[in-house]
A and B are shown apart, each in its own frame.
Chain A
Amino acid sequence: MIIAERKTFDEIKQIVGDAHKILIVGCGTCVAVCMAGGEKEVGILASLLRLDAKREGRELEIIETTVERQCDKEYLEPLAKKVSDADVVVSLACGAGVQFLAEMYDTKRVLPGLNTRFIGVAEHEGMWTQRCMACSDCILGETGGICPVTICPKGLLNGPCGGTNEGKCEVDNEKDCAWTLIYRRLEKTGGLNNIKKLFPPKRYDVQTKPGKVIHPAYEKGEGKAHE
């Protein structure tokens, strides 16, 4: 899932400026799970803005709402009235959600309340770690399900650098060396022969931005999927 963190209150306050009516839109998927932009976090941010306004003697009206996903138009359409009533909209979605909301309501100022960090997993309660760079050229099948592009700070594809030290990384000795992890995993799964395989240089050509994926069943033009 996508992991994000709330911006500091000062930053949010600054970008909101002197708006009198703020709509805060939460997203009920990834950022709700990582406790950054779900219904509860919308409530917390709304309370902070209200307390701050009260402390400064300012009038402020806040509307709170959370949709299932901000990266799907069908969930954004019902927000039309609320968006139109607000001076500004603060989206607590990942960067994709903020942009989609801003695109749909392009006459309204839509502001980000989060910093999107990475694609990752929940290690344990309240802690998430990065696992995928969305590189469009997955090699996990060869590396025992451990991604050297993400886990190795240098993104090395063919074994560790000279800085690996008893299974730890020279960049940060708190972190495991990705290639030591890969070796151990391949050893466990009987795939150590894979370690001898040489990977060609990473295909950065498939990472052109902005990415676009069309499912074959949804391509336009008759019979395209079978061509």
Chain B
Amino acid sequence: MEGECHFLEGNIRAKKRVNYTKGLLAEVKIEPERLKMFNMGASDAKEFAHAADEMTKIAKEFGPSPLKKIKNRKRPAIRRIQ
């Protein structure tokens, strides 16, 4: 939980950095909501699953990444290793 990091105030620092990074994303017109920080313990499997569901929902609401929208380039062919 926030403030109860194994590295003492590590997750509070991380929160500030994540918020800063959200600001950077907003500057280049990428929805900052695509990035979110969750606090949970190493064994909180349920919380992790909920967080993953929430982020999936958010990603679906926003649609594909704006970096992928403009795509005239062909994908490089995948080479199969014989």
Contact = CB atoms under 8 A, between A and B. Distances in A.
User: How would you classify the secondary structure of chain A's contact residues: helix, strand, loop or mixed?
Assistant: helix
A55 B29 contact: yes
Interface stretch (A44-52, A65-73, A173-181, A209-217): A44-52
B27 A55 contact: no
Chain A, interface size category, equals 10 to 19
B70 interface: yes
Chain B, interface size category, equals 10 to 19
A57 interface: yes
Contacts of B30: 51, 55
Nearest to B26: A9
A9 B70 contact: no
Interface in B1-60: 24, 27-30
A48 B70 contact: no
B67 interface: yes
B76 interface: no
Contacts of A8: 27
Nearest to A51: B28
A56 B28 CA distance: 10
Nearest to B24: A48
B66 interface: yes
B22 to A, nearest CB: 13
B82 interface: no
Contact of A9 (B28, B66, B67, B69): B28
Report the 8 A-B pairs with minimum CB-CB distance, sorted nearest first: A57-B70, A9-B27, A52-B28, A51-B28, A54-B67, A55-B66, A48-B28, A55-B67
